[in-house]
Amino acid sequence: MNKTVVATLLCLLMIVFFSGGSHAETEHWKIGHVRSPGSAIDNDIRALVDHIKTKTGGSILIDIHPANKLGDYSVVQERVAFGEVEMYVGPFGTAIDKRVALAFTPFLVSSWDEAKRVYTQGSALFKQMAIFLENQNIKVIGGWPVYFGGIALTQKPADPGNPDIPKEMIIRVPPIRSFERTARELGYTPYPITWTYAKMGLKTGMVEGMLGGGAEGYLGLKGIIHYYLPVKDHFEYWFIYMNLDLWKGLSEKDQTLFTDALQAMEKRRYAVAEAEEIASIEKLKNQGVQVIEFSDRERAAMQKKVKTNVWPMLKQEIGDAFEAVVGAR
């Protein structure tokens, strides 16, 4: 009788243990991003979090922290590396490794079809970025295409389509050399500050415009900017990443769960991103912003000057990875 009871108890313990899947207990994570609640990225992340919760039987619960509540993207990058924050969606800062500027290569792509090939899981760019970030204890697991970059200004520049004409305007750029050099080659004087302080700079007149964002991002500057130049200087692609040690601790099944879910999310985003960009430009017009369009000749002149004068600097800083990505386009 005692043996029967013991055997029964052992069976019950095994059932309880294995029914928990690959998780011994519920894990609570944090994920941050740069936009406000209810934005497109926020809605996609909420759907992702719900999917992960369902597929893991509630063993992985992820709290969403929108609107930079966890800190500026460069700050959170370090927090993820140290394991203080589990996941993040956004761009990478280049303070620790300048090679990460590869993702911001100016005029690397000029159309949405090109972007779909270059900025995606499994591409040469994605693989190189993953290699760079592993040295920071970060695992890149997906991405979210945002928009093509443009310039927002408080005043109309001189001959905006001619990069050889000095604009005599100081504009904010991200504190990343490729953006600084690009602004100079297009005729502007760059002033590197983070997005957090850029709006204040526009209000005080410290800067007369911004480079480093796109139409959707500039919608929050209503009444401050009056001109938008869709130069397509870079393609904004927010990487989705997590702490590398945390990633290594996941089962192969859960790793596949994340990468498959993020691949599907990226595909859905690409299906609507171009239309949303067009809609954002229309919203800028409705706010009273004048959109300055460019001819093919003007675009070609801007691209040629930047590629001629900025790309060699990037090649020197990034190394063979730059050529590998450019050649794989």
Please write the tens of the pLDDT for every residue from 285-313. Answer: 999 999 999 999 999 999 999 999 999 99
Residue 122 has pLDDT above 90, yes or no: yes
Smallest CA-to-CA distance from 294 within 222, 207, 186 is with 186
Question: Would 25-146+235-278 and 150-234+279-327 be classified into the same CATH topology?
Answer: yes
Q: Tell the burial category of 35 from Cβ atoms under 10 Å away from its Cβ (0-12, 13-18, 19+).
A: buried
Reported as a single tens digit per residue, the pLDDT across 227-238 is: 999 999 999 999
> How high is the pLDDT of residue 196?
80
- Domain locations in the chain? 25-146+235-278, 150-234+279-327
Which residue would you say has higher pLDDT here, 49 or 194? 49
Give pLDDT, residue 309.
98
pLDDT at 188 over 60: yes
Can you tell me the mean pLDDT for 155-159?
Answer: 97
The pLDDT-based confidence of 185 (bands split at 50, 70, 90) is very high
**What is the C-alpha separation between 279 and 282, in angstroms, rounded?**
5
Which of 1-10, 39-48, 218-227, 259-268 has the lowest average pLDDT? 1-10
- The proportion of the chain whose per-residue pLDDT surpasses 70, expressed as a percent, equals 93
Cα–Cα distance list, 225 to 182, 207, 208 (Å): 20, 11, 9
Record: fold of 150-234+279-327: D-Maltodextrin-Binding Protein; domain 2 (3.40.190)
Domain 25-146+235-278 classification at class level: alpha beta
What is the dihedral sign for C-alpha 147, 167, 189, 205? negative
The pLDDT, as a whole number, for residue 24 is 52
Pairing label, strands 290-291, 60-65: unpaired
pLDDT of residue 16: 40
Tell me which residue has tokens 């000029």: 110
Whether pTM > 0.85 for this model: the answer is: yes
Please report the pLDDT score of residue 166 as a whole number: 98
Mind listing the pLDDT tens digit for each residue in 5-58?
444 444 444 444 444 444 458 999 999 999 999 999 999 999 999 999 999 999
Alpha-carbon distance of 329 to 320, in angstroms, equals: 15
Give the strand pairing for 227-229 and 150-153: antiparallel
